[in-house]
Amino acid sequence: MRILVANDDGIFSPGIKALAFALRELGEVRVVAPDVEQSGVGHSITFRRPLRFKHTAAAGFGEIPAYRVDGTPADCVVLGSQLLGRPDVVVSGINIGVNMGLDLTHSGTVAAALEGTSLGIPSIAFSLDASGEELRFEEAARYAVPLVRWVLEHGLPPKTLLNVNFPNRTPLGLRITRLSTHRYEDQVVARTDPEGRPYYWLAGQPTAEMEEGTDFWAVQQGYISVTPITLDYTDYAFAALLEGRLTLEGLCSG
């Protein structure tokens, strides 16, 4: 089995290292990750400049082939799949910090799995709650192995990936969850540089409602959260409601 491991925290992140080493028992692991942190870039693809794809021995992966890319997480999956052979599964993470609810719209970790899914490859995104003094990547990676094994054995539906969030503790169990209201309340911090010119920081604090059955609830309660995510964003119920009610003739006559 070929396993492609990517992330958005960069090639030197301890999370991707723990995940790559743990997955060796399942097959041939290849690591392709950004050369610098790419958190928050979402599902962006680089197409207006060339990309560099370099083997690296300095990241500490030992015998696991590891490559760094001066691009986005999605770029890493595209290049890894094309240049190293099509993998049987794409695994992204383990991210430093959870990716839940509306975080998914800008998460580079989830974007790597989205790209794998769009290529028709079963894909999983892994993230770890960053609360606490010590981040338990190795323990999370041990629980990631049976999840990846299950996907390799059973596959996933078309256009569907798994978004997995670990509590930063020994989990009480696993829950199949839905997306929560988890999001960042954005704010703009205005400052001035030494020459008197304004610049801005986009900042924010995470917020979510504690609703049972959601990814946020599960992680807060100490469970591993597994949320199936589909690439089909169509709201079929609303589309059916609009059918016959929203027409070009009706809009122009109104």
Half-sphere exposure of 164 (CA within 13 A, CB side): 26
Work out the average pLDDT over 17-21: 97
Give the pTM.
0.91
Q: Is the peptide bond prior to 94 cis by the omega test (within 30 degrees of 0)?
A: yes
Predicted confidence (pLDDT) at residue 244 exceeds the cutoff of 70: yes
Average pLDDT, the chain: 91
Helix/strand/coil for 176: strand
Predicted confidence (pLDDT) at residue 172 exceeds the cutoff of 90: yes
Half-sphere exposure of 15 (CA within 13 A, CB side): 29
Cα gap 97→81, rounded to integer Å: 26
Predicted confidence (pLDDT) at residue 205 exceeds the cutoff of 70: no
Largest Cα separation within the chain, whole Å, is 68
Residues 87-107: tens digit of each pLDDT: 999 999 999 999 999 889 889
Neighbours of 138 (CB within 10 A): 15
DSSP state of 234: -
Residues 112-142: tens digit of each pLDDT: 999 999 999 999 999 999 988 899 999 999 9
Domains, the chain, ordered by start: 2-180+210-253 (3.40.1210.10)
Give the residue among 160, 9, 1, 162 at the shortest CA–CA distance from 76.
9
Q: What's the token pair of residue 34?
A: 């950004």
Residues 37-62: tens digit of each pLDDT: 778 777 888 889 999 999 998 788 99
Cα gap 6→10, rounded to integer Å: 9
- What stretch of H or E contains 152? helix 137-154
